[in-house]
């Protein structure tokens, strides 16, 4: 039908409305439409028309029946009468539904003999270069996710100009269907379903993908009919990573349902913030949990604008007020997830999982802060008087910020404010012993927490635990490792031997350095932990035992502040290495042994910033049988090799393949008895210097050796009571430097 010409008395708005109405009718009849041609015929209103074309296309996408898609040329007629149409290698069976990205069809892929869900990208989105590029990038990234609780993406491609995603097909209902049929769900079913949502989110977030549109309609239930109320079967998250595809320009031309449902948006999404992170998915998961508990979303209204206003301004109604059967622990998790500030939510999906599995109620930081603010206003005068009393009498120190922490027997004790008194913060069950504890500043938040390492973890996964300033446990972390280390059996578990805290990356707040080792074998690790994200950011693996001591007089591992420059600290450590003698059953690819003894004392200087850059590495010996690259973070590494002296009590057998039973004791191999920083002022660039007490304990002879920042010997002092002191050349020969100034040195054994 030819377009009508405008009359002189038509207003601009009437013309636009009339043209769009005509296009609406043409779309309904399946007529092809050339948008550019129409805009060219109406140059004075072309901009407004183009603004509405995509919306009109969304309303009709011309004809959404399979036959209509064939008429439009998006699908081809099927040569097989068993199927209704085809697209490349896919045979179309039926229409399943539509979403913001396009429509979804059920199809069969003969080559792989499987049914798939085929999502076709909306035609107008292919005209948006930003949206199309983002679609391809996000879809391909999501295709790399392989997890039982994430819908598998088989392929991302295009055929004859039609862009599509081929996905795993699920016959079951969506969680939205389940809630619509049943209303509030039983607590056990909610726990099972929520756990699966969180497991899927944890895997995706770890891979760097954010969903941005978590809602019941995107949660598919792959389980038999009639099993809905038990929460059995498998839940799968659909459309992972694809909610980000729509560009800002495209969003403006599409109705709201195409770029996210307002009821499930986080406050930062509702505001249009640019820096959206994984915590937006945790908020949306909280809305889904709330809806499973109550049968309704926390915020709803007649218009999207009103919903967004509620999300930004109102508190969600308490779920337990919606029904007497609402589980209080689950309700507390939902309310914590629905915090308006993302800092007040859980930090990670794994943290939510831990709270869910504990079965305990969790506190709401948001509500606690509001209560504190209200109480502060109500008692302002009393607080001022209390402050004066504290100033003159020292009262009120229990609420002052924590400035230091340590372990005494089974207690974690702390100092608060300016007080030098140690106060108990947390008590472990007898007969446990606190190996180490440290106070950690959390930067801009102004908060402090205490991280502690019990000698016997209270549970297998709790190698270290973190407490708030009231002694409440807020998180724990597992530092154990099940890596297949050569020549050892990791069967007795891991423990954390020592903790330190400092700003290592130059950003506000401290990082935690944890030194952990296998209880019965040689592997150990220096790990840098982000106490806010509660993740391990970097690890330097060590094939030996760092000798941790909290003794302030004779520390064995410490932070050498400003070693590499202002604010750029170093870790100085001493201990023993177990593998410089090679392996029980050497391979051709293994490096040659550097000593004949299986235990030698060592010293190292580590650069934490390089640890953060590389993520994971290993110290010497550098063997391909251990799955780590040599660490660039080791600034210097040296060991004491007394295995070639006349006082040997231990030798390898003739072929150096397997050790004899006459393994040396630590007294036989010698030791770095003490390690301390020299007080000398060094101006030639080789400082700071360190003083080592090198000793053969069993023979009672040794020397005091001073080394520079690269662990090269500067001077040697004889022990005053040594009846037959060794010459300086002896110690220079036996002190073997493996790494110096980041460069690997290869001393001969």
Whether 213 sits among the annotated catalytic residues: the reply is yes
- Distance CA(242)–CA(204), nearest Å, equals 13
Which residue in this structure is represented by tokens 């039982």? 148
* Torsion, Cα of 501, 502, 504, 509 (10° steps): 100
How many secondary structure helices (H) and strands (E) does the chain include? 18, 30
Nearest to 743 by CA among 640, 634, 591: 634
- Distance CA(507)–CA(509), nearest Å, equals 6
Nearest to 78 by CA among 65, 88, 63, 91: 91
Please identify which of the residues 128, 213, 510, 607 carries the catalytic annotation. 213
CA distances from 706 to 241, 538, 577, 642, 735 (A): 57, 31, 21, 18, 11
Q: Are 156 and 240 in contact (CB under 8 A)?
A: no
Q: 355 phi and psi, to 5 degrees? A: -65, -40
* E strand or H helix that includes residue 450: strand 448-454
- Distance CA(123)–CA(131), nearest Å, equals 11
- Distance CA(686)–CA(691), nearest Å, equals 14
- Distance CA(213)–CA(248), nearest Å, equals 16
Q: Are 509 and 441 in contact (CB under 8 A)?
A: yes
- Distance CA(346)–CA(318), nearest Å, equals 18
Instruction: Retrieve residue 133's tokens.
Output: 């590029």
- Distance CA(358)–CA(335), nearest Å, equals 17
Prior bond to 510 cis, omega within 30?
Answer: no
DSSP β-ladder status, 448-454 and 464-467: antiparallel
Q: Is 185 left (phi over 0), alpha (psi -120 to 50) or beta?
A: beta
Q: Are 413 and 422 in contact (CB under 8 A)?
A: yes
Strand order in the sheet with 671-677: 671-677, 690-696, 701-707, 713-718
Helix locations, 314-379, DSSP H: 328-337, 349-358, 365-378
In the 8-state DSSP scheme, what is residue 76?
B
Which residue in this structure is represented by tokens 């090679």? 582
Please give the positions annotated as active site.
Answer: 213
């Amino acid at each position: 039908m030819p377009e009508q010409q405008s009359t002189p008395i038509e207003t601009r708005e009437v013309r636009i409305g009339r043209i769009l109405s005509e296009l609406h009718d043409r779309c309904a009849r399946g007529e092809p439409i050339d948008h550019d041609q129409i805009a060219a015929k109406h140059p004075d209103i072309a901009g407004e028309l183009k603004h509405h074309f995509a919306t009109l296309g969304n309303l009709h996408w011309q004809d959404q029946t399979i036959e209509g898609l064939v008429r439009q040329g998006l699908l081809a007629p099927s040569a097989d009468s068993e199927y209704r149409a085809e697209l490349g290698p896919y045979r179309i069976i039926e229409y399943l539904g539509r979403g913001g990205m396009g429509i979804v069809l059920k199809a069969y892929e003969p080559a792989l003999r499987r049914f798939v869900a085929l999502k076709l990208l909306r035609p107008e989105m292919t005209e948006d270069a930003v949206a199309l590029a983002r679609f391809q990038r996000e879809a391909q990234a999501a295709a790399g996710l392989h997890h039982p609780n994430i819908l598998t993406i088989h392929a991302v491609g295009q055929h004859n100009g039609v862009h599509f995603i081929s996905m795993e097909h699920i016959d079951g209902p969506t969680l939205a269907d389940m809630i619509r049929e049943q209303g509030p769900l039983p607590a056990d079913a909610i726990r099972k379903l929520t756990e699966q949502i969180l497991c899927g989110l944890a895997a995706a977030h770890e891979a760097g993908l954010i969903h941005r549109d978590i809602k019941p309609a995107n949660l598919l239930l792959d389980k038999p009919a009639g099993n809905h109320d038990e929460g059995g079967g498998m839940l799968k998250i659909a459309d992972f990573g694809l909610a980000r595809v729509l560009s800002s320009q495209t969003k403006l031309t599409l109705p709201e349902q195409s770029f996210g449902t307002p009821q499930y948006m986080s406050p930062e999404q509702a505001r249009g913030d640019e820096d959206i992170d994984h915590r937006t998915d945790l908020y949306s998961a909280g809305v889904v949990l709330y809806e499973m508990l109550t049968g309704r979303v926390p915020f709803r209204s007649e218009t999207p604008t009103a919903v967004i206003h509620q999300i930004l301004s109102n508190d969600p109604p308490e779920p337990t007020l919606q029904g007497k059967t609402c589980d209080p622990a689950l309700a507390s998790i939902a309310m914590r997830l629905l915090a308006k500030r993302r800092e007040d939510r859980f930090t990670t999906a794994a943290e939510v999982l831990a709270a869910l599995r504990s079965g305990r109620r969790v506190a709401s930081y948001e509500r606690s802060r509001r209560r504190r603010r209200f109480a502060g206003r109500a008692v302002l005068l009393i607080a001022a008087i209390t402050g004066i009393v504290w100033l003159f009498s020292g009262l009120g120190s229990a609420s002052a910020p924590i400035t230091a922490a340590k372990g005494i027997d089974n207690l974690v004790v702390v100092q608060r404010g300016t007080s030098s008194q140690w106060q108990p913060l947390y008590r472990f069950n007898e007969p446990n012993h606190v190996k180490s504890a440290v106070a950690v500043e959390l930067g801009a938040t102004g908060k402090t927490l205490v991280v502690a390492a019990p000698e016997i973890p209270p549970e297998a996964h709790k190698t270290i635990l973190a407490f708030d300033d009231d002694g409440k446990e807020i998180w724990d972390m597992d530092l154990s490792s099940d890596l297949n280390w050569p020549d050892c059996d990791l069967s007795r578990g891991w423990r954390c031997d020592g903790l330190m805290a400092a700003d290592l990356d130059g950003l506000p707040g401290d990082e935690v350095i944890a030194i952990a080792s296998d209880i019965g074998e040689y592997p150990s690790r220096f790990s840098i932990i982000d106490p806010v994200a509660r993740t391990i950011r970097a690890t330097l693996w060590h094939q030996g035992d760092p000798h941790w001591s909290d003794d302030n007089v004779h520390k064995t591992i410490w932070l050498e502040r400003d070693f590499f420059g202002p604010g750029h600290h170093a870790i100085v450590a001493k201990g023993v290495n177990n593998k410089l003698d090679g392996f029980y059953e050497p391979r051709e690819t293994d490096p040659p042994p550097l000593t004949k003894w299986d235990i030698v004392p060592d010293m190292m200087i580590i650069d934490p910033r390089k640890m953060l850059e590389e993520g994971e590495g290993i110290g010497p010996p550098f063997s391909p049988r251990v799955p780590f690259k040599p660490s660039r973070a080791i600034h210097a590494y040296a060991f004491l090799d007394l295995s070639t002296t006349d006082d040997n009590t231990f030798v390898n057998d003739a072929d150096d393949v397997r050790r004899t039973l006459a393994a040396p004791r630590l007294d036989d191999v010698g030791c770095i008895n003490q390690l301390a920083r020299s007080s000398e002022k060094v101006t030639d660039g080789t400082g700071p210097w360190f003083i080592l007490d090198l000793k053969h304990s069993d023979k009672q002879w040794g020397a005091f050796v001073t080394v520079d920042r690269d662990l090269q010997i500067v001077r040697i002092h004889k022990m005053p009571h040594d009846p037959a002191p060794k010459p300086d050349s002896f110690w220079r020969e036996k002190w073997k430097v493996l790494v110096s100034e980041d460069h690997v040195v290869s001393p001969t054994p």
